[in-house]
Amino acid sequence: MPGPQMAAAMEASRNIREQRPQVKIAWGGYFPSIYPDAALNAKYVDFVIRGQGEDTLLELVEALRGARSFDSILGLSYKDQFGLHRSNSERPMRGPDNFPWSPFHRLPVKKYLRPSFFGKRTAVHHASIGCPFNCSFCGVHAAYGRDEKMESPQRTVAILRHLVEEYGADSVQFYDMNFFLREDHAMELLELLAPLKLRWWCEARVDIMSRYSDATMSAVKRAGCAMIFFGAESGSDWALKEMQKGITTEQTLTMARRTRQFGIIPEFSFVVGNPKDPERDTRETLAFIRKIKRINPDSEIIVQHYTPTPQPGSMYGEVEGKIRFPDSPSEWATKKWMDFTLRIDTSAPWLKTKTKKLIDNFELVVASRWPTVQDIRAPRWSRMLLQTLSAWRYAMRFYSWPVELELANRFIQLRKPKRESL
């Protein structure tokens, strides 16, 4: 991933190159998949494995042993003998069922099962790869394609049962981009999952789940689902069309109502400040968030600045010329671009300072008025303090100069689901 993970990879790669210059270094994951040339511009990166890397890495090892040529490896970018960048064709993705289980017996699994809002020993699992949708601000389809490959329900449950029986897992977070893609697949999985009595979190789309029957929604709750993350993105239907999101604001409101009906906490994430008309998008989205809170006060709200990615078909084309993206990992690792990547401060040239300030202040007021339930360390008094300090601001719609909330949040230091969702 770009951000802190990339910075750590840079440090490790530099140290390896310094101590063992003969060792070849390959980078994989989101950052090099989307920015292969920027990654290869680093002297310590020899190869980039784009997208799904299991087969590509094995074939690269064969090539390094002289058993095949580099240009025969799908999904590989590399430097040729003249130092020029070469990128081979994309590798078709294979579903999780085509690969063996993770070698849990070789890992200290119990050390990774940590307490969370969902349980005392929370595991993580990826039950699919890829995303069939084409949201213009997202890097998932750029890195892994638009053909989502889902794990069979039987395999998913078998792996989770192993984590429960062997390591004492009592909860799980599913990191799929779309955990609920087909209702028939979902029902099969939910029926198998329920006997494990796990509490869990997942990501889903409002357009898909708004069409699910009440019977399926009941099964979701019965199977242990405690919270669902939805990319609502905007309170403006015109902005959602610009993003190629494929959802409507009414579908988001529907899921606010349905999650309340079935006792599931929704997380709604918004990327505010659409380049087409950032002031209008901001105004309409903030009003929409207030509407969601009236429908379902338990809704968790995540607010981020609109951050484009330089990829074909994205809104990057609309802002090209206004943003010059870095061409090396070292520049991506500077504070300016770290803040951009983590959406702390995108410094978007189309976003006026007062609009950006309004977004940030609104986020602070909402987060203080309804502190996240996911922070299991926060004492009750800290939540009551934040709620008391922010109540009048939210009621009066007065978001300017929230100095007291900034001080209180700095002192209390609640968990920030926003940072963990990136």
Distance CA(125)–CA(229), nearest Å, equals: 15
Task: Return the pLDDT at 13.
Answer: 97
Cross-strand partners of 235: none
As a whole number, the mean pLDDT across the chain is 91
pLDDT tens digits, one per residue of 270-295: 999 988 999 999 999 999 999 999 99
State yes or no: pLDDT of 62 exceeds 80. Answer: yes
State yes or no: pLDDT of 312 exceeds 60. Answer: no
pLDDT tens digits, one per residue of 382-391: 999 999 999 9
Confidence category of residue 307, pLDDT binned at 50, 70, 90: confident
State yes or no: pLDDT of 378 exceeds 70. Answer: yes
The pTM is what? 0.90
Question: For residue 73, which of 86, 85, 56 has the smallest C-alpha distance?
Answer: 56
Task: Return the pLDDT at 315.
Answer: 42
Q: Return the percentage of the chain with pLDDT > 90, whole number.
A: 74
Task: Return the pLDDT at 351.
Answer: 87
122-125 and 85-87 strand pairing: unpaired
Centroid of chain to Cα 225: 19
> Quick one: angle between helices 183-193 and 153-167, nearest 10?
30
Cross-strand partners of 303: 270
Cβ within 8 Å of residue 154, ≥6 positions away:
192
Task: Return the pLDDT at 313.
Answer: 42
Confidence category of residue 321, pLDDT binned at 50, 70, 90: low
